[in-house]
Amino acid sequence: MQHAQAGARRNTAHARRPLRGSRFRLGRADMRGYRAVKYVLFLFCYVFWVLSAILIAVGIYAKVAKEKDVVDTLALDPALLFMAIGSLTFVITFLGCFGALRNATCPLKMFASIVAVLLLLQLTAAIAGYLFSDVVIERTERLMMKSVVRYREDRDLDNAIDFVQKKFQCCGVDSYKDWSGNVYFECSDSNPSSEACGVPFSCCVAPGNRTVPNTMCGFGTRRASRDIFLAGCLDKIVRWLDRNIRTVAGLAGGLLLLETCVMSLALAQACWINKVRRRAAALASRRPSHKKDHLWFPAFAHFDDQRDDIATENPFPWSVQERLREVHPGSRRLGGRLGHVEEMNPNEKLSLSAKASPWTLDPEPATPCPC
């Protein structure tokens, strides 16, 4: 009975630890493939997890360093945008890292599901942007006009607008006249600002030999329209996208391909883990039960000398062995194995078969051995 309880405990332990039990290990080739999938997924998730943490830190630093009266709109505040994107990426990649490293199917499935949803959203946005390009341009124009109106209210927003105007050599959204919508650059007699009827310094045409920018070059330039860029930034950005459509499409396709590969690795590892667990459960269900006297065996069967291990395919279960030990408690030949039954004399064998098998009829008296 103690041996049967010990076998049951080993059975339960193997079922709980399917990837570590010696009876349920994968083959060497399968294990190498599994480890490759596991650690490649962990490496990808870890890299993006670190990058998202850096993005959150940059956003928090930019938000703390600002003044209190700043713009708190997600679409117009780069700091809040960095924090939002970084936080979302941090949570998603943490699920991937934890699931891959701990062989946990639930985080892996959650990670794959979230990545699949994001992939579908990106594909939907790309298709909708291509089909409804006029609507996208109109919404972008409105957003840029709001940014122009709130210039000088947020340092990060100011830096972003100045970078775009310097990069594309433009001024305003449609033209330099759009800066009339800003209270600091409004061209009216009642405007006390020193920048009235002017534009930001990023609209100025900088001389080639000047290394230090002149931040006052835009004062009063709209009255004479001199030394500034006249074209708007929206038209310049659309033309740049048309010229570099292959590069933009390649970057977008690479991002989608990376997301698809990571999602496939997560699903492959989860399927591998479930496969090993099903194999462990199947092997556990095929093991013999531990009830006594539920099987009959021939009286003079040949017993192989093998270990009494519950995971070994033993044709004579524990119940038979316990029965033999009960009917012959003092026999040393049946101490721990059944391989020495043949050493008994014929009378003992007949007695053993009559006592051990509940289905055997009363045997006739054995003939004494002539020897």
More confident residue, 211 or 292: 211
More confident residue, 363 or 56: 56
Question: 96: closest CA among 87, 88, 84, 104?
Answer: 104
In tens, the pLDDT along 36-45 reads 999 999 999 9
Mean pLDDT (whole number) for 206-235: 78
366 neighbors 350 (Cβ within 8 angstroms) = yes
pTM equals 0.63
Centre a 10 Å sphere on the Cβ of residue 214 and count the other Cβ atoms it contains: 12
In tens, the pLDDT along 258-278 reads 999 999 999 999 999 998 888
Share of the chain above pLDDT 90, in %: 31
pLDDT confidence of residue 313? 46
pLDDT confidence of residue 288? 57
Mean pLDDT (whole number) for 124-139: 89
What's the distance, Cα to Cα, between the start and end of the chain in Å? 39
Mean pLDDT estimate for the chain? 75
State the pLDDT confidence band at 296, using cuts at 50, 70 and 90. Answer: very low
Share of the chain above pLDDT 70, in %: 64
For residue 42 the two structure tokens come to: 């962990």
pLDDT confidence of residue 92? 95
> Is pLDDT at 126 greater than 50 in this prediction?
yes
In tens, the pLDDT along 158-206 reads 888 999 999 999 999 998 889 988 988 888 888 888 888 889 989 988 7
State the pLDDT confidence band at 68, using cuts at 50, 70 and 90. Answer: low
* Residue position matching structure tokens 């650059």: 185
User: What are the distances in angstroms from CA 177 to CA 192, 203, 218?
Assistant: 19, 12, 13
State the pLDDT confidence band at 299, using cuts at 50, 70 and 90. Answer: very low
Highest mean pLDDT out of 89-93, 198-202, 206-210: 89-93
State the pLDDT confidence band at 311, using cuts at 50, 70 and 90. Answer: very low
37 neighbors 265 (Cβ within 8 angstroms) = yes
327 neighbors 352 (Cβ within 8 angstroms) = yes
